Structure 1
Amino acid sequence: MSLRQRFGRLRRSEAASGLILVSPTAIFALLLLAAPLATILAFSFWSQDYLTIDKSFTLTNYHEAVTQPLYSKLIWRSVRIAGAVTVATVLLAFPIAYFVSFGVSQARKSMWIFMITIPFWTSYLIRVFLWKVILGYNGVLNTTLQGLGIIDEPLSFILYNANAVVITLAHAYAPFAILPIFVALEKIDRSLLEASRDLGEGHVTTFLRVTLPLAMPGVVAAVLIVFIPTIGDYVTPRLVGGPNGLMIANMIQTQFLKLNNAPMGAALAVLSMLLVAAIALVFVGVNRRFLRGPK
Protein backbone atom coordinates (compact mmCIF):
# COMPACT_ATOMS: atom_id res chain seq x y z
CA MET A 1 0.00 0.00 0.00
CA SER A 2 1.41 3.35 -1.05
CA LEU A 3 1.93 6.28 1.32
CA ARG A 4 -0.83 8.22 -0.41
CA GLN A 5 -3.30 5.35 0.03
CA ARG A 6 -2.37 5.04 3.70
CA PHE A 7 -2.91 8.77 4.23
CA GLY A 8 -6.29 8.62 2.52
CA ARG A 9 -7.33 5.65 4.62
CA LEU A 10 -6.20 7.40 7.81
CA ARG A 11 -8.11 10.53 6.85
CA ARG A 12 -11.33 8.52 6.53
CA SER A 13 -10.87 6.71 9.85
CA GLU A 14 -12.85 7.41 13.03
CA ALA A 15 -9.73 8.72 14.78
CA ALA A 16 -9.18 11.31 12.07
CA SER A 17 -12.83 12.33 12.16
CA GLY A 18 -12.66 12.76 15.93
CA LEU A 19 -9.45 14.74 15.64
CA ILE A 20 -11.05 17.08 13.11
CA LEU A 21 -14.03 17.59 15.41
CA VAL A 22 -11.95 18.48 18.48
CA SER A 23 -9.30 20.51 16.64
CA PRO A 24 -11.15 23.88 16.81
CA THR A 25 -11.72 23.42 20.54
CA ALA A 26 -8.12 22.31 21.09
CA ILE A 27 -6.76 25.30 19.16
CA PHE A 28 -9.08 27.62 21.10
CA ALA A 29 -7.87 26.16 24.42
CA LEU A 30 -4.23 26.47 23.39
CA LEU A 31 -4.59 30.10 22.33
CA LEU A 32 -6.65 31.29 25.30
CA LEU A 33 -5.43 28.98 28.10
CA ALA A 34 -2.10 27.32 27.40
CA ALA A 35 -0.42 30.29 25.71
CA PRO A 36 -1.17 32.78 28.53
CA LEU A 37 -0.07 30.24 31.15
CA ALA A 38 3.15 29.59 29.24
CA THR A 39 3.74 33.34 29.03
CA ILE A 40 3.22 33.78 32.78
CA LEU A 41 5.59 30.87 33.44
CA ALA A 42 8.26 32.43 31.19
CA PHE A 43 7.84 35.84 32.86
CA SER A 44 8.40 34.28 36.28
CA PHE A 45 11.99 33.39 35.35
CA TRP A 46 12.84 36.89 34.11
CA SER A 47 13.52 40.17 35.91
CA GLN A 48 12.34 43.72 35.36
CA ASP A 49 13.84 47.14 36.01
CA TYR A 50 10.98 49.62 35.72
CA LEU A 51 9.93 49.17 32.05
CA THR A 52 12.95 47.13 30.95
CA ILE A 53 12.56 43.35 31.08
CA ASP A 54 15.69 41.23 31.34
CA LYS A 55 15.01 37.81 29.81
CA SER A 56 17.99 36.16 31.44
CA PHE A 57 16.99 33.05 33.36
CA THR A 58 16.84 33.61 37.12
CA LEU A 59 15.24 32.04 40.19
CA THR A 60 15.39 35.25 42.20
CA ASN A 61 11.65 35.81 42.00
CA TYR A 62 10.85 32.38 43.41
CA HIS A 63 13.47 32.73 46.12
CA GLU A 64 12.01 36.07 47.20
CA ALA A 65 8.45 34.73 47.01
CA VAL A 66 9.33 31.82 49.31
CA THR A 67 11.54 33.69 51.77
CA GLN A 68 9.65 37.01 52.03
CA PRO A 69 7.29 36.76 55.05
CA LEU A 70 4.71 39.10 53.50
CA TYR A 71 4.13 36.83 50.49
CA SER A 72 3.90 33.69 52.62
CA LYS A 73 1.44 35.41 54.95
CA LEU A 74 -0.78 36.47 52.05
CA ILE A 75 -0.70 33.02 50.45
CA TRP A 76 -1.73 31.20 53.63
CA ARG A 77 -4.33 33.83 54.43
CA SER A 78 -5.77 33.26 50.96
CA VAL A 79 -5.90 29.50 51.62
CA ARG A 80 -7.63 30.04 54.97
CA ILE A 81 -10.19 32.46 53.55
CA ALA A 82 -10.88 30.28 50.51
CA GLY A 83 -11.21 27.23 52.75
CA ALA A 84 -13.63 29.02 55.07
CA VAL A 85 -15.67 30.24 52.11
CA THR A 86 -15.77 26.73 50.66
CA VAL A 87 -16.87 25.11 53.91
CA ALA A 88 -19.52 27.74 54.60
CA THR A 89 -20.84 27.69 51.05
CA VAL A 90 -21.08 23.91 50.73
CA LEU A 91 -22.62 23.46 54.18
CA LEU A 92 -25.29 26.04 53.37
CA ALA A 93 -25.77 24.82 49.79
CA PHE A 94 -26.33 21.14 50.60
CA PRO A 95 -29.60 21.60 52.58
CA ILE A 96 -30.98 23.86 49.86
CA ALA A 97 -30.07 21.39 47.11
CA TYR A 98 -31.47 18.51 49.20
CA PHE A 99 -34.75 20.34 49.75
CA VAL A 100 -35.15 21.16 46.05
CA SER A 101 -34.34 17.60 45.03
CA PHE A 102 -36.38 15.69 47.63
CA GLY A 103 -38.87 18.19 49.01
CA VAL A 104 -40.12 19.97 45.90
CA SER A 105 -42.49 18.44 43.36
CA GLN A 106 -41.11 17.69 39.92
CA ALA A 107 -43.26 20.39 38.34
CA ARG A 108 -41.80 23.14 40.56
CA LYS A 109 -38.13 22.20 40.55
CA SER A 110 -37.44 24.32 37.48
CA MET A 111 -38.91 27.35 39.22
CA TRP A 112 -36.68 26.82 42.25
CA ILE A 113 -33.57 26.44 40.09
CA PHE A 114 -34.63 29.61 38.29
CA MET A 115 -34.83 31.49 41.61
CA ILE A 116 -31.43 30.16 42.69
CA THR A 117 -29.85 31.65 39.56
CA ILE A 118 -31.45 35.09 40.06
CA PRO A 119 -28.28 36.55 41.71
CA PHE A 120 -26.51 36.05 38.37
CA TRP A 121 -28.78 38.68 36.88
CA THR A 122 -26.90 41.46 38.64
CA SER A 123 -23.26 42.41 38.32
CA TYR A 124 -20.85 40.74 40.70
CA LEU A 125 -19.42 44.15 41.55
CA ILE A 126 -22.87 45.48 42.48
CA ARG A 127 -23.44 42.53 44.81
CA VAL A 128 -20.13 43.22 46.55
CA PHE A 129 -21.06 46.86 47.02
CA LEU A 130 -24.44 45.82 48.44
CA TRP A 131 -22.73 43.65 51.04
CA LYS A 132 -20.52 46.61 51.88
CA VAL A 133 -23.69 48.61 52.56
CA ILE A 134 -25.23 45.77 54.60
CA LEU A 135 -22.14 45.13 56.75
CA GLY A 136 -21.08 48.76 57.17
CA TYR A 137 -20.61 50.47 60.53
CA ASN A 138 -23.90 52.30 59.97
CA GLY A 139 -25.20 49.70 57.54
CA VAL A 140 -28.41 47.72 57.40
CA LEU A 141 -27.29 44.94 59.77
CA ASN A 142 -25.95 47.18 62.52
CA THR A 143 -28.89 49.59 62.27
CA THR A 144 -31.38 46.73 62.53
CA LEU A 145 -29.65 45.11 65.50
CA GLN A 146 -29.44 48.45 67.30
CA GLY A 147 -33.08 49.18 66.54
CA LEU A 148 -34.10 45.84 68.05
CA GLY A 149 -32.00 46.52 71.14
CA ILE A 150 -29.77 43.47 70.58
CA ILE A 151 -26.56 45.52 70.50
CA ASP A 152 -25.68 48.89 72.04
CA GLU A 153 -23.06 49.95 69.51
CA PRO A 154 -22.32 48.92 65.90
CA LEU A 155 -20.37 45.73 65.33
CA SER A 156 -16.93 46.52 63.94
CA PHE A 157 -15.72 42.99 63.20
CA ILE A 158 -18.01 42.32 60.23
CA LEU A 159 -16.46 44.73 57.72
CA TYR A 160 -12.97 45.44 56.42
CA ASN A 161 -11.55 42.14 57.57
CA ALA A 162 -11.49 38.47 56.60
CA ASN A 163 -14.99 37.91 58.01
CA ALA A 164 -16.50 40.30 55.48
CA VAL A 165 -14.62 38.58 52.64
CA VAL A 166 -15.93 35.16 53.71
CA ILE A 167 -19.53 36.37 53.98
CA THR A 168 -19.47 38.17 50.63
CA LEU A 169 -17.78 35.36 48.71
CA ALA A 170 -20.01 32.69 50.29
CA HIS A 171 -23.07 34.53 49.01
CA ALA A 172 -21.54 35.16 45.59
CA TYR A 173 -20.61 31.51 44.99
CA ALA A 174 -23.64 29.87 46.59
CA PRO A 175 -25.34 29.03 43.25
CA PHE A 176 -22.12 27.41 42.02
CA ALA A 177 -22.30 25.02 44.98
CA ILE A 178 -26.04 24.39 44.94
CA LEU A 179 -26.34 23.35 41.29
CA PRO A 180 -23.74 20.51 41.15
CA ILE A 181 -25.00 19.09 44.46
CA PHE A 182 -28.57 19.24 43.17
CA VAL A 183 -27.59 17.41 39.98
CA ALA A 184 -25.86 14.67 41.99
CA LEU A 185 -28.90 14.27 44.26
CA GLU A 186 -31.22 14.08 41.26
CA LYS A 187 -29.23 11.14 39.87
CA ILE A 188 -29.77 9.05 43.00
CA ASP A 189 -32.13 6.16 42.41
CA ARG A 190 -34.99 6.66 44.87
CA SER A 191 -35.52 2.90 45.07
CA LEU A 192 -32.19 2.63 46.90
CA LEU A 193 -33.53 4.89 49.65
CA GLU A 194 -36.71 2.86 49.87
CA ALA A 195 -34.70 -0.36 50.05
CA SER A 196 -32.60 1.08 52.89
CA ARG A 197 -35.70 1.99 54.89
CA ASP A 198 -37.29 -1.41 54.15
CA LEU A 199 -34.21 -3.03 55.66
CA GLY A 200 -34.79 -1.16 58.90
CA GLU A 201 -32.58 1.89 58.49
CA GLY A 202 -33.86 5.24 59.74
CA HIS A 203 -33.89 8.49 57.80
CA VAL A 204 -30.62 9.69 59.35
CA THR A 205 -28.81 6.41 58.76
CA THR A 206 -30.13 6.23 55.19
CA PHE A 207 -28.86 9.73 54.55
CA LEU A 208 -25.40 8.99 55.97
CA ARG A 209 -24.94 5.57 54.37
CA VAL A 210 -26.76 6.00 51.05
CA THR A 211 -27.63 9.57 50.11
CA LEU A 212 -24.44 11.32 51.20
CA PRO A 213 -21.96 8.87 49.59
CA LEU A 214 -23.92 8.94 46.32
CA ALA A 215 -24.00 12.76 46.43
CA MET A 216 -20.26 13.09 47.06
CA PRO A 217 -19.37 13.66 43.37
CA GLY A 218 -21.56 16.77 43.47
CA VAL A 219 -20.03 17.86 46.77
CA VAL A 220 -16.52 17.43 45.37
CA ALA A 221 -17.46 19.42 42.27
CA ALA A 222 -18.95 22.16 44.47
CA VAL A 223 -15.83 22.31 46.64
CA LEU A 224 -13.52 22.66 43.65
CA ILE A 225 -15.77 25.12 41.84
CA VAL A 226 -15.87 27.37 44.91
CA PHE A 227 -12.33 26.95 46.25
CA ILE A 228 -10.36 27.50 43.05
CA PRO A 229 -11.80 30.89 42.01
CA THR A 230 -12.16 32.28 45.54
CA ILE A 231 -8.47 31.83 46.34
CA GLY A 232 -7.69 34.04 43.34
CA ASP A 233 -10.33 36.69 43.96
CA TYR A 234 -9.03 40.24 44.32
CA VAL A 235 -12.13 42.44 43.88
CA THR A 236 -13.92 41.39 47.07
CA PRO A 237 -10.86 41.64 49.37
CA ARG A 238 -10.09 45.06 47.95
CA LEU A 239 -13.61 46.40 48.56
CA VAL A 240 -14.63 44.77 51.85
CA GLY A 241 -11.49 43.13 53.21
CA GLY A 242 -9.45 46.05 54.46
CA PRO A 243 -5.76 45.56 55.37
CA ASN A 244 -6.46 42.30 57.22
CA GLY A 245 -8.57 40.85 54.41
CA LEU A 246 -6.25 41.28 51.44
CA MET A 247 -5.24 38.11 49.59
CA ILE A 248 -2.41 37.00 47.34
CA ALA A 249 -4.29 38.08 44.21
CA ASN A 250 -4.19 41.66 45.46
CA MET A 251 -0.41 41.46 45.73
CA ILE A 252 -0.17 39.98 42.23
CA GLN A 253 -2.26 42.86 40.92
CA THR A 254 -0.02 45.34 42.73
CA GLN A 255 3.13 43.77 41.30
CA PHE A 256 1.80 43.93 37.74
CA LEU A 257 0.03 47.30 37.73
CA LYS A 258 1.64 49.48 40.41
CA LEU A 259 5.17 48.24 41.07
CA ASN A 260 6.01 47.45 37.42
CA ASN A 261 7.38 44.08 38.47
CA ALA A 262 5.58 41.62 36.22
CA PRO A 263 8.11 38.78 36.79
CA MET A 264 7.53 38.90 40.55
CA GLY A 265 3.76 38.93 40.00
CA ALA A 266 4.12 36.01 37.59
CA ALA A 267 6.15 34.01 40.12
CA LEU A 268 3.51 34.59 42.79
CA ALA A 269 0.80 33.54 40.32
CA VAL A 270 2.66 30.33 39.42
CA LEU A 271 3.20 29.43 43.09
CA SER A 272 -0.47 30.10 43.82
CA MET A 273 -1.56 27.88 40.93
CA LEU A 274 0.73 25.07 42.08
CA LEU A 275 -0.58 25.34 45.63
CA VAL A 276 -4.20 25.25 44.47
CA ALA A 277 -3.50 22.27 42.21
CA ALA A 278 -1.81 20.39 45.06
CA ILE A 279 -4.68 21.06 47.49
CA ALA A 280 -7.25 20.05 44.87
CA LEU A 281 -5.42 16.79 44.08
CA VAL A 282 -5.09 15.92 47.76
CA PHE A 283 -8.79 16.57 48.31
CA VAL A 284 -9.80 14.45 45.31
CA GLY A 285 -7.47 11.64 46.44
CA VAL A 286 -8.86 11.65 49.98
CA ASN A 287 -12.40 11.68 48.61
CA ARG A 288 -11.74 8.68 46.36
CA ARG A 289 -10.26 6.78 49.28
CA PHE A 290 -13.33 7.70 51.36
CA LEU A 291 -15.69 6.45 48.66
CA ARG A 292 -13.81 3.15 48.26
CA GLY A 293 -14.07 2.54 51.99
CA PRO A 294 -11.94 0.12 53.99
CA LYS A 295 -10.54 -2.89 52.14
Structure 2
Amino acid sequence: MAKRGSNAEARQGLTLIAPPFLYALAILAVPILTILGYSFLTDGYLEVVRDFTLDNYRQVWTDPIVRTIMLRSLMVSALVTLVTVVLAFPVAYYVSFMVRPERKSMWLFLITIPFWTSYLIRVFLWKVILGYNGVINSSLTGLGIIDEPLTFILYNVNSIVLTLAHAYAPFAILPIFVALEKIDRSLLEAGRDLGENRLMTFWRVTLPLAMPGVIAAVLIVFIPTIGDYVTPELIGGGKIPMIANLIQVQMLALDNRPLGSALAVTAMLVVAVVSLLFLALNRRFLKVKQ
Protein backbone atom coordinates (compact mmCIF):
# COMPACT_ATOMS: atom_id res chain seq x y z
CA MET A 1 0.00 0.00 0.00
CA ALA A 2 2.83 2.36 0.86
CA LYS A 3 4.51 1.66 -2.48
CA ARG A 4 1.24 2.26 -4.33
CA GLY A 5 0.78 5.56 -2.49
CA SER A 6 4.29 6.72 -3.36
CA ASN A 7 3.71 5.84 -7.02
CA ALA A 8 0.48 7.84 -6.99
CA GLU A 9 2.31 10.82 -5.49
CA ALA A 10 5.05 10.51 -8.10
CA ARG A 11 2.50 10.46 -10.93
CA GLN A 12 0.76 13.47 -9.40
CA GLY A 13 4.09 15.31 -9.17
CA LEU A 14 4.89 14.50 -12.80
CA THR A 15 1.45 15.73 -13.80
CA LEU A 16 2.10 19.03 -12.06
CA ILE A 17 5.56 19.66 -13.54
CA ALA A 18 4.85 18.30 -17.02
CA PRO A 19 3.06 21.42 -18.43
CA PRO A 20 5.73 23.96 -17.37
CA PHE A 21 8.50 21.56 -18.41
CA LEU A 22 7.01 21.05 -21.86
CA TYR A 23 6.44 24.80 -22.18
CA ALA A 24 10.06 25.56 -21.25
CA LEU A 25 11.21 22.85 -23.65
CA ALA A 26 9.16 24.37 -26.45
CA ILE A 27 10.32 27.97 -26.01
CA LEU A 28 13.96 27.24 -25.14
CA ALA A 29 15.15 23.88 -26.43
CA VAL A 30 13.32 23.80 -29.76
CA PRO A 31 14.69 27.14 -31.08
CA ILE A 32 18.23 26.24 -29.97
CA LEU A 33 18.01 22.81 -31.59
CA THR A 34 16.66 24.43 -34.76
CA ILE A 35 19.60 26.84 -34.90
CA LEU A 36 21.97 23.94 -34.22
CA GLY A 37 20.42 21.95 -37.06
CA TYR A 38 20.71 24.88 -39.49
CA SER A 39 24.39 25.32 -38.63
CA PHE A 40 25.26 21.96 -40.22
CA LEU A 41 23.42 22.62 -43.50
CA THR A 42 24.65 23.96 -46.81
CA ASP A 43 21.49 25.44 -48.31
CA GLY A 44 19.43 26.53 -45.29
CA TYR A 45 16.66 23.95 -45.56
CA LEU A 46 16.27 21.41 -42.77
CA GLU A 47 14.45 19.05 -45.13
CA VAL A 48 17.66 18.29 -47.00
CA VAL A 49 19.26 16.02 -44.40
CA ARG A 50 21.93 14.68 -46.74
CA ASP A 51 23.64 18.09 -47.00
CA PHE A 52 25.04 18.14 -43.45
CA THR A 53 28.52 19.65 -43.30
CA LEU A 54 31.08 21.22 -40.94
CA ASP A 55 32.15 23.86 -43.45
CA ASN A 56 30.19 26.59 -41.67
CA TYR A 57 32.11 26.03 -38.44
CA ARG A 58 35.42 25.86 -40.32
CA GLN A 59 34.66 29.23 -41.88
CA VAL A 60 33.66 30.72 -38.53
CA TRP A 61 36.82 29.58 -36.75
CA THR A 62 39.23 30.44 -39.58
CA ASP A 63 37.82 33.75 -40.82
CA PRO A 64 39.91 36.64 -39.37
CA ILE A 65 36.95 39.02 -39.63
CA VAL A 66 34.79 36.76 -37.47
CA ARG A 67 37.65 36.37 -35.00
CA THR A 68 38.10 40.13 -34.77
CA ILE A 69 34.39 40.77 -34.23
CA MET A 70 34.14 38.01 -31.64
CA LEU A 71 37.11 39.39 -29.69
CA ARG A 72 35.63 42.89 -29.90
CA SER A 73 32.30 41.58 -28.59
CA LEU A 74 34.03 39.88 -25.67
CA MET A 75 36.06 43.01 -24.91
CA VAL A 76 33.05 45.34 -25.03
CA SER A 77 30.92 42.98 -22.96
CA ALA A 78 33.68 42.54 -20.36
CA LEU A 79 34.17 46.30 -20.17
CA VAL A 80 30.44 46.91 -19.82
CA THR A 81 30.25 44.27 -17.10
CA LEU A 82 33.19 45.77 -15.21
CA VAL A 83 31.82 49.33 -15.38
CA THR A 84 28.29 48.27 -14.49
CA VAL A 85 29.23 46.12 -11.50
CA VAL A 86 31.76 48.66 -10.17
CA LEU A 87 29.14 51.41 -10.32
CA ALA A 88 26.30 49.19 -9.07
CA PHE A 89 28.07 47.87 -5.96
CA PRO A 90 28.29 51.26 -4.15
CA VAL A 91 24.63 51.94 -4.88
CA ALA A 92 23.58 48.53 -3.56
CA TYR A 93 25.88 48.93 -0.55
CA TYR A 94 24.45 52.35 0.25
CA VAL A 95 20.85 51.15 0.03
CA SER A 96 21.58 48.06 2.14
CA PHE A 97 23.76 49.57 4.87
CA MET A 98 23.03 53.30 4.92
CA VAL A 99 19.32 53.68 4.11
CA ARG A 100 16.82 53.17 6.90
CA PRO A 101 14.77 49.94 6.55
CA GLU A 102 11.47 51.75 6.04
CA ARG A 103 12.92 53.67 3.06
CA LYS A 104 14.64 50.81 1.25
CA SER A 105 11.51 49.92 -0.70
CA MET A 106 11.33 53.48 -2.03
CA TRP A 107 14.97 53.31 -3.17
CA LEU A 108 14.37 49.99 -4.92
CA PHE A 109 11.32 51.53 -6.55
CA LEU A 110 13.47 54.40 -7.87
CA ILE A 111 16.13 51.96 -9.15
CA THR A 112 13.53 50.09 -11.20
CA ILE A 113 12.17 53.24 -12.89
CA PRO A 114 14.33 52.70 -16.04
CA PHE A 115 12.40 49.46 -16.60
CA TRP A 116 9.29 51.54 -17.24
CA THR A 117 10.53 52.66 -20.64
CA SER A 118 11.47 50.60 -23.65
CA TYR A 119 15.11 49.64 -24.04
CA LEU A 120 15.01 50.95 -27.60
CA ILE A 121 13.74 54.34 -26.42
CA ARG A 122 16.57 54.59 -23.87
CA VAL A 123 19.12 53.84 -26.59
CA PHE A 124 17.65 56.56 -28.81
CA LEU A 125 17.75 58.99 -25.88
CA TRP A 126 21.47 58.33 -25.39
CA LYS A 127 21.95 58.97 -29.10
CA VAL A 128 20.20 62.32 -28.66
CA ILE A 129 22.32 63.13 -25.61
CA LEU A 130 25.63 62.21 -27.25
CA GLY A 131 24.81 63.38 -30.78
CA TYR A 132 26.54 66.10 -32.82
CA ASN A 133 23.77 68.54 -31.95
CA GLY A 134 22.79 66.68 -28.80
CA VAL A 135 22.38 67.77 -25.19
CA ILE A 136 26.08 67.61 -24.27
CA ASN A 137 27.34 69.46 -27.33
CA SER A 138 24.59 72.07 -27.17
CA SER A 139 25.28 72.70 -23.48
CA LEU A 140 29.06 73.00 -23.92
CA THR A 141 28.65 75.24 -26.97
CA GLY A 142 26.11 77.43 -25.20
CA LEU A 143 28.42 77.86 -22.21
CA GLY A 144 31.27 78.83 -24.50
CA ILE A 145 33.46 75.91 -23.37
CA ILE A 146 33.87 74.62 -26.94
CA ASP A 147 33.60 76.38 -30.29
CA GLU A 148 32.53 73.37 -32.34
CA PRO A 149 30.52 70.28 -31.36
CA LEU A 150 32.55 67.29 -30.22
CA THR A 151 32.56 64.37 -32.62
CA PHE A 152 34.30 61.72 -30.49
CA ILE A 153 31.53 61.17 -27.90
CA LEU A 154 29.32 59.16 -30.27
CA TYR A 155 29.85 56.26 -32.67
CA ASN A 156 32.66 54.65 -30.69
CA VAL A 157 33.24 51.94 -28.09
CA ASN A 158 33.02 54.39 -25.18
CA SER A 159 29.51 55.48 -26.12
CA ILE A 160 28.43 51.83 -26.52
CA VAL A 161 29.83 50.95 -23.09
CA LEU A 162 28.13 53.97 -21.49
CA THR A 163 24.76 53.15 -23.02
CA LEU A 164 24.88 49.46 -22.13
CA ALA A 165 26.11 50.18 -18.59
CA HIS A 166 23.17 52.51 -18.00
CA ALA A 167 20.71 50.02 -19.48
CA TYR A 168 21.87 47.08 -17.36
CA ALA A 169 22.67 48.93 -14.11
CA PRO A 170 19.41 47.92 -12.37
CA PHE A 171 20.06 44.27 -13.25
CA ALA A 172 23.38 44.52 -11.41
CA ILE A 173 22.18 46.54 -8.43
CA LEU A 174 19.33 44.26 -7.39
CA PRO A 175 21.19 40.92 -7.01
CA ILE A 176 24.07 42.63 -5.18
CA PHE A 177 21.58 44.32 -2.86
CA VAL A 178 19.90 40.98 -2.09
CA ALA A 179 23.28 39.41 -1.25
CA LEU A 180 24.22 42.33 0.99
CA GLU A 181 20.90 42.16 2.80
CA LYS A 182 21.58 38.53 3.75
CA ILE A 183 24.84 39.40 5.53
CA ASP A 184 24.62 39.05 9.30
CA ARG A 185 25.54 42.48 10.68
CA SER A 186 26.98 40.87 13.79
CA LEU A 187 29.82 39.48 11.66
CA LEU A 188 30.86 43.01 10.73
CA GLU A 189 30.72 44.09 14.36
CA ALA A 190 32.85 41.07 15.31
CA GLY A 191 35.45 42.06 12.72
CA ARG A 192 35.70 45.55 14.16
CA ASP A 193 35.87 44.18 17.71
CA LEU A 194 38.89 42.11 16.62
CA GLY A 195 40.71 45.27 15.58
CA GLU A 196 39.95 45.41 11.85
CA ASN A 197 39.25 48.78 10.29
CA ARG A 198 36.27 49.35 8.03
CA LEU A 199 38.24 48.76 4.83
CA MET A 200 39.67 45.41 5.96
CA THR A 201 36.30 44.36 7.35
CA PHE A 202 34.77 45.09 3.96
CA TRP A 203 37.53 43.16 2.13
CA ARG A 204 37.56 40.13 4.43
CA VAL A 205 33.91 39.87 5.43
CA THR A 206 31.49 41.94 3.35
CA LEU A 207 32.91 41.32 -0.12
CA PRO A 208 33.28 37.51 0.16
CA LEU A 209 29.76 37.20 1.56
CA ALA A 210 28.42 39.44 -1.21
CA MET A 211 30.17 37.49 -4.00
CA PRO A 212 27.09 35.39 -4.90
CA GLY A 213 25.28 38.62 -5.75
CA VAL A 214 28.31 39.95 -7.63
CA ILE A 215 28.52 36.70 -9.63
CA ALA A 216 24.84 36.94 -10.49
CA ALA A 217 25.28 40.58 -11.55
CA VAL A 218 28.30 39.73 -13.71
CA LEU A 219 26.53 36.92 -15.52
CA ILE A 220 23.27 38.87 -15.87
CA VAL A 221 25.15 41.74 -17.54
CA PHE A 222 27.82 39.84 -19.47
CA ILE A 223 25.65 37.25 -21.21
CA PRO A 224 23.08 39.57 -22.85
CA THR A 225 25.49 42.41 -23.68
CA ILE A 226 27.75 40.20 -25.78
CA GLY A 227 24.76 39.50 -28.01
CA ASP A 228 23.35 43.02 -28.06
CA TYR A 229 22.37 44.20 -31.53
CA VAL A 230 20.55 47.52 -31.09
CA THR A 231 23.21 49.53 -29.26
CA PRO A 232 26.15 48.84 -31.63
CA GLU A 233 23.85 49.56 -34.56
CA LEU A 234 22.49 52.88 -33.27
CA ILE A 235 25.10 54.21 -30.84
CA GLY A 236 27.99 52.71 -32.79
CA GLY A 237 26.51 53.90 -36.06
CA GLY A 238 27.16 50.50 -37.62
CA LYS A 239 30.90 51.29 -37.56
CA ILE A 240 31.65 48.98 -34.63
CA PRO A 241 29.76 45.76 -35.36
CA MET A 242 29.53 43.04 -32.73
CA ILE A 243 28.73 39.38 -33.16
CA ALA A 244 24.95 39.95 -33.10
CA ASN A 245 25.25 42.42 -35.98
CA LEU A 246 27.25 39.89 -37.99
CA ILE A 247 24.63 37.21 -37.32
CA GLN A 248 21.90 39.60 -38.47
CA VAL A 249 23.75 40.31 -41.70
CA GLN A 250 24.20 36.61 -42.44
CA MET A 251 20.65 35.65 -41.49
CA LEU A 252 18.69 38.48 -43.13
CA ALA A 253 20.78 40.63 -45.44
CA LEU A 254 22.70 37.75 -47.08
CA ASP A 255 20.09 35.03 -46.40
CA ASN A 256 22.87 32.68 -45.29
CA ARG A 257 21.09 30.93 -42.45
CA PRO A 258 23.59 28.06 -42.04
CA LEU A 259 26.55 30.40 -41.53
CA GLY A 260 24.49 32.71 -39.33
CA SER A 261 23.42 29.72 -37.22
CA ALA A 262 27.02 28.55 -36.92
CA LEU A 263 27.97 32.04 -35.71
CA ALA A 264 25.17 31.97 -33.15
CA VAL A 265 26.12 28.52 -31.84
CA THR A 266 29.78 29.53 -31.64
CA ALA A 267 28.88 32.69 -29.74
CA MET A 268 26.81 30.67 -27.27
CA LEU A 269 29.69 28.26 -26.73
CA VAL A 270 32.17 31.09 -26.19
CA VAL A 271 29.86 32.77 -23.68
CA ALA A 272 29.35 29.47 -21.86
CA VAL A 273 33.11 28.82 -21.64
CA VAL A 274 33.86 32.35 -20.41
CA SER A 275 31.08 32.14 -17.82
CA LEU A 276 32.33 28.77 -16.54
CA LEU A 277 35.89 30.11 -16.30
CA PHE A 278 34.64 33.07 -14.29
CA LEU A 279 32.70 30.81 -11.95
CA ALA A 280 35.78 28.60 -11.47
CA LEU A 281 38.02 31.58 -10.72
CA ASN A 282 35.46 32.97 -8.30
CA ARG A 283 35.16 29.63 -6.51
CA ARG A 284 38.93 29.59 -6.13
CA PHE A 285 38.80 33.16 -4.79
CA LEU A 286 36.25 32.19 -2.18
CA LYS A 287 38.35 29.21 -1.08
CA VAL A 288 41.37 31.48 -0.63
CA LYS A 289 39.30 33.98 1.39
CA GLN A 290 38.02 31.19 3.60
The alignment's TM-score, normalised by the length of structure 2, stands at: 0.94
**% identical aligned pairs:** 63
Paired residue for 1:216? 211
Paired residue for 2:107? 112
Paired residue for 2:251? 256
Paired residue for 2:80? 85
Paired residue for 2:7? 11
Residues 226 and 130 of structure 1: CA distance in aligned 2, closer, same or farther (over 3 Å): same
Residues 52 and 259 of structure 1: CA distance in aligned 2, closer, same or farther (over 3 Å): farther
Quote how far apart the aligned CAs of 1:12 are.
Answer: 1.8
Q: Please tell me whether residue 126 in structure 1 is matched to residue 115 in structure 2.
A: no
Paired residue for 1:198? 193
CA–CA separation in structure 1 for the residues paired with 2:247 and 2:139: 38
Quote how far apart the aligned CAs of 1:241 are.
Answer: 0.8
Q: What is the correspondence of 1:235-274 to structure 2 with a 5 Å cutoff?
A: 235-274=230-269
Paired residue for 1:71? 66
- What value does the CA root-mean-square deviation take over the aligned residues? 2.0
Q: Please tell me whether residue 23 in structure 1 is matched to residue 11 in structure 2.
A: no
Quote how far apart the aligned CAs of 1:16 are.
Answer: 3.7
Quote how far apart the aligned CAs of 1:254 are.
Answer: 1.3
Once the two structures are superposed, residues 13-66 of structure 1 have per-residue CA deviations (whole angstroms, 9 ceiling, x without a partner) of 4x44433332222111110101111110000000127x8975411011111111
**Counterpart selection for 1:94 from 89, 93, 97:** 89
Q: Which stretch has the larger CA shift, 25-34 or 141-150?
A: 141-150
For structure 2, the 5+ residue unaligned runs are none
Q: What is the correspondence of 1:37-186 to structure 2 with a 5 Å cutoff?
A: 37-48=32-43, 54-55=48-49, 56-186=51-181
For structure 1, the 5+ residue unaligned runs are none
Paired residue for 1:288? 283
Quote how far apart the aligned CAs of 1:158 are.
Answer: 1.7
CA–CA separation in structure 2 for the residues paired with 1:147 and 1:201: 51
CA–CA separation in structure 2 for the residues paired with 1:121 and 1:292: 40
The alignment's TM-score, normalised by the length of structure 1, stands at: 0.93
Residue-pair matches, total = 289
Residue type at the aligned position of 1:288: R
Residue type at the aligned position of 2:210: A
Q: Is the 1:255–1:264 contact (alpha carbons within 8 Å) kept by the matching residues of 2?
A: yes
